[in-house]
Amino acid sequence: MSIPKTQKAIIFETNGGPLQYKDIPVPTPKANEILINVKYSGVCHTDLHAWKGDWPLDTKLPLVGGHEGAGVVVALGENVKGWEIGDLAGIKWLNGSCMSCEYCQKANESNCASADLSGYTHDGSFQQFATADAIQAARIPKGTDLAQVSPILCAGITVYKALKTANLSAGEWVAISGAGGGLGSLAVQYATAMGYRVLAIDGGDEKGAFVKSLGAEVFVDFTKSKDIVKDIVAATNGGPHGVINVSVSEAAVSQSVQYVRSCGTVVLVGLPAGAKVIAPVFDSVVKSISIKGSYVGNRADTAEAIDFFSRGLIKCPIKIVGLSELASIYELMEQGKILGRYVVDTSK
């Protein structure tokens, strides 16, 4: 394919400023990078946090967001090995790291102090052509539906890694808090495929029916429950062995510390602005609970998460709209109204 000089993108110049759908130059891959013709990109709540400037880490500005981009390799930097034009590739959150620090050596590249982040410190997948570090770009098997696979590239990898972090055994209970959203709807399915019993927490009847259709055994509605801790402990006969917090709610995180089973693990994934975990020291000690942060996943987690998808164990519940409509997706996301994941088609 001939690579055009300009392309459509959504770009913003200030945090919270206008999301402009316009023509911008097609980037040139550096020596270590591939150029991907992004066909579809999932829209993650992280993209909304990045646009709003919610976190104590600056974004580049102006910025093209997006980090769940699935597409086709159209150009290779001069040092790139192991990729060919026409291969299917994914843009994920971690776009590059130093590869030599203690964390990179141990395959914890997302913890590298100089990690380069798609849609945050590096222009991401809300454009038709995006660059990705050849080492970190995700390998997508030939013949894969690119719209369907796109949410795996952040949401799927992240929840799969978070479930591994919870260190559960088959047959144990895991609570997914924020189960009806983008990460949650995949977490319910990965947890089911990994043999765990799922208690899903979110708000509203529609989300309840939705998470049950994905494999949740029990649904607890945080908008209706009068005592959520009591209800969850009762439904799981003593509390879930693990909790995956993917809601954007500070209160929900602190509740999870209370309802988790003794010797269980609370995994922190969602990143509400300025939030703190409130964990009573006495209960945490006497119940011997673990509270762990989990941040995306490494290359092995990526390959494994994609493999679950390729084997048909995970179906991404997506709604596809044009890239030009990104602002309206952010509005729905802010209101907690999205079931599953929105995916943007970069051609519209």
**Of the candidates 166, 118, 184, 163, the residue with the CA atom closest to the CA atom of residue 316:** 184
**Contact call for residue 44 and Zn ion (CB under 5 A):** yes
**Of the candidates 184, 234, 239, the residue with the CA atom closest to the CA atom of residue 207:** 184
Lay out the site mask for ligand NAD across 188-207 (x = CB under 6 A, - = otherwise). -------------xxx----
Measured CA to CA in angstroms, residue 190 lies from 33, 74, 197, 215, 330 at distances of 31, 32, 11, 10, 26
280-284: list long-range contacts, CB under 8 Å, 24+ apart. 283/257, 283/258, 284/257
**Contact call for residue 94 and Zn ion (CB under 5 A):** no
Touching ligand NAD, residues 115-134 (CB under 6 A): none
CA distance 295 to 84: 30
Touching ligand NAD, residues 172-191 (CB under 6 A): 177-178, 180-184
**Contact call for residue 46 and Zn ion (CB under 5 A):** yes
Lay out the site mask for ligand NAD across 134-163 (x = CB under 6 A, - = otherwise). --------------------x---x-----
Residue number with CB closer to ligand NAD (223 or 347) = 223
CB 177 within 8 Å of CB 162: no
Lay out the site mask for ligand NAD across 220-249 (x = CB under 6 A, - = otherwise). --x-----------------------xxxx
Q: Dump the DSSP string for 291-341.
A: EEE--S--HHHHHHHHHHHHTTS----EEEEEGGGHHHHHHHHHTT--SSE
The CB-of-84 to ligand NAD minimum distance in angstroms stands at 30
What is the binding site for Zn ion (CB under 5 A)? 44, 46, 154
What is the binding site for ligand NAD (CB under 6 A)? 44-46, 49, 154, 158, 177-178, 180-184, 201-203, 222, 246-249, 251-252, 269-271, 294-296, 333, 336, 338
